Chains A and B, each alone.
Chain A
Amino acid sequence: MGVITVSRQFGSGGEIIARMVADRLGYLLVNREMIEKKLQQYGIPEPDLALFDERNLAAAEQEGEVEGVNEKRRRYLEALHDLFYSMAISKNLVILGRGGQVLFKDFPPALHVKVIAPYESRVERVCKTYNLDEAAAAFLIAEQDRDRQEYLRHVFGADWFDLSFYDLVVNTGLLGMEEAACLIGKATRLKESMDGVTVRELDEWLLDSAEQPPAAHEKDAAPSPFAHSSEEDFARVLDFYRIKWLYEPRTFPLQWDSEGNVTEAFSPDFYLPEQDLYVELTTQRQKLVWKKNKKVRRLKELYPDVNIKVIYERDYRGLLQKYGIEK
Chain B
Amino acid sequence: MEKEEHFLEVLITEEEIQKKVASLGEQVSRDYAGSEHLVLIAVLRGSVYFAVDLSRHLTIPYVLDFIGISSYSGGDPLGIVRITKDLDVNIARKNVLLVEDIVDTGLTLNYLLNNLRTRNPLSLRVCIFLDRPARRIVDIPVDYRGFEIPDVFVVGYGLDYNEKYRNLKSIHVLKDKK
Contacts and interface: CB of A to CB of B under 8 A. Distances in A.
B151 A240 contact: no
A310 to B, nearest CB: 11
B80 to A, nearest CB: 6
A243 interface: yes
Nearest to B109: A241
Interface stretch (B14-22, B44-52, B70-78, B91-99): B70-78
A309 B137 CA distance: 7
Contacts of B139: 275, 277
For chain B, give the interface size range: 20 to 34
Contact of B74 (A272, A277, A314, A323): A323
Given A323-B73, A324-B72, A324-B74, A315 B107 contact: no
Interface string A221-242: 0000000000001001111111
Given A237-B107, A311-B137, A315-B134, A323 B80 contact: no
A325 B74 contact: yes
A113 interface: no
A241 B135 contact: no
B79 A240 contact: yes
A325 B75 CA distance: 8
A277 B140 CA distance: 13
B104 interface: yes
Nearest to A233: B74
Contacts of B151: 314-315, 318
Contacts of A233: 74
Interface of A: 233, 236-243, 272, 275, 277, 279, 309, 311, 314-315, 318-320, 322-326
